[in-house]
Amino acid sequence: MKSTRKIQVKGVEISIVRSHENDYLSLTDMLKAKDGDFFISDWLRNRNTVEFLGIWEGVHNPAFNYGEFATIKSQAGLNSYKLSVKEWVEKTNAIGLRATTGRYGGTYAHQDIAFEFGMWISAEFKVYLIKEFQRLKAEENGRLNLEWSLQRTLAKINYRIHTDAIKETLLPPVITRQHASLVYANEADLLNVALFGKTAKEWRADHPDAEGNIRDHAPLEQLVVLSNLESINAVLIRQGLPQSERVFKLNEIAITQVRTLLASTTLKRVALVSGKNPLIERTKFRKDARTAGQGFSDKEPK
């Protein structure tokens, strides 16, 4: 887990870490808001707490150990009952609570459980905790929407640069609209092959029931690379490189850029499967007759 953000709740600074696409709040920080000498183990020994944790794990954790949970539940609330977060996790294979060490050490809880812990501190604290957490998420969503909007704008600009380069360099002085569309589609499919490893027509043949086209189903990382490839292809066109050379250069660039994006801590969204990534695998293509220089035209726009 890596610390990414902090929020202020009733004068208490609370760390939030991200793990497996979920937010975990520091119960250790939250405990500072409770008057008197209390410990997280005091909250954990409460029978209502144990029942809540068991229900939450049952909903979210297929590997939850119900046998150990039943034993713990039968002892919860007794004067002799004592259980640490570490013991709870080890015995039940729980995922909602985590005890960590190091720079951001302490006890962390999934946001659902953290809100429940906030109620143990006070009803007022829980209300402000939820309010501040929602404010944080709204800010994050706003930034993501802004990034997406900027990316869409950049893609439109690069697309215009690309089509202008085709018009200025590849189209004869006088041409019909039908012929022009074939040239544009041919170059669009060059980018499709360089990035996705297949033409628009081939993708439709593989996905007969899918709505839209190959680019409509591409994740954000590939759309970012596609936008860059359009600008690069425009430069290569103006340099006079034939299509058979450009496609290999663009494919190499696509693979490099996808790998760079996937290595970014802010853009890593696609999981690696058996050491291979579907984004990178789809970017590779065979050096067949088509890519060796006989063109990509399927007579379809992208």
**Is the same domain home to 204 and 257?**
yes
- Answer yes or no: do 154 and 47 share one domain: no
Domain shared by 50 and 170, yes or no: no
Residue 133 located in a structural domain: no
* Domain membership flag for residue 138: no
Number of domains present in the structure of the chain: 2
- Is the same domain home to 168 and 222? yes
Q: Does 288 lie in the same domain as 199? A: yes
Q: Residue 90 is part of which domain span?
A: 2-121
The pTM of this model reads 0.48
**Chain-centre distance for alpha carbon 46:** 37
In a domain, residue 302? The reply is no
What is the identity of the amino acid at 210? Answer: A
Give 227's pLDDT tier (boundaries 50, 70, 90): confident
Backbone φ/ψ region at 36: left (φ over 0), alpha (ψ -120 to 50), beta: left
What 8-state DSSP symbol labels residue 33? G
Q: Is 130 helix (H, G, I), strand (E, B) or coil?
A: helix
Q: Considering the domain boundaries, does residue 97 fall inside one?
A: yes
Q: Are residues 148 and 290 in the same domain?
A: yes
Q: Based on the fold, state whether residues 25 and 147 are members of the same structural domain.
A: no
Q: Is residue 33 part of a domain?
A: yes
**Residues 49-54, mean pLDDT to the nearest whole number:** 93
**Least confident among 79-83, 147-151, 179-183, 286-290:** 286-290
- 137 within domain boundaries: no
pLDDT above 90 covers a percentage of the chain that reads 26
Domain match, 157 and 247 both:
yes
Radius of gyration in angstroms for the set of CA atoms belonging to the chain, rounded to a whole number: 27
According to the model, what pLDDT value does residue 94 have? Answer: 95
Q: What's the pLDDT band for 170 if we cut at 50, 70, 90?
A: low
79 and 47 together in one domain: yes
Residue type at position 96: G
Whether residue 262 is contained in a domain is answered as yes
**175 falls in which pLDDT band (50, 70, 90)?**
very low
231 and 155 in a single domain? The answer is yes
Give the DSSP per-residue string, 193-226. Answer: HHHHSS-HHHHHHH-TT-SS-TTTT--HHHHHHH
Paired tokens of 37: 């000498």
Q: Report yes or no on 92 lying in a domain.
A: yes
Distance CA 228, CA 226 (A): 5
Residues 49 and 81 placed together within one structural domain of the fold? yes
**39 and 182 part of one domain:** no
Please give the average per-residue pLDDT across 83-93, as a whole number. Answer: 92
What's the mean pLDDT in 21-39? 86
Q: Six-digit token pair at 246?
A: 């450009």
pLDDT digits (tens, 9 = 90+) for 55-68: 999 999 999 999 99
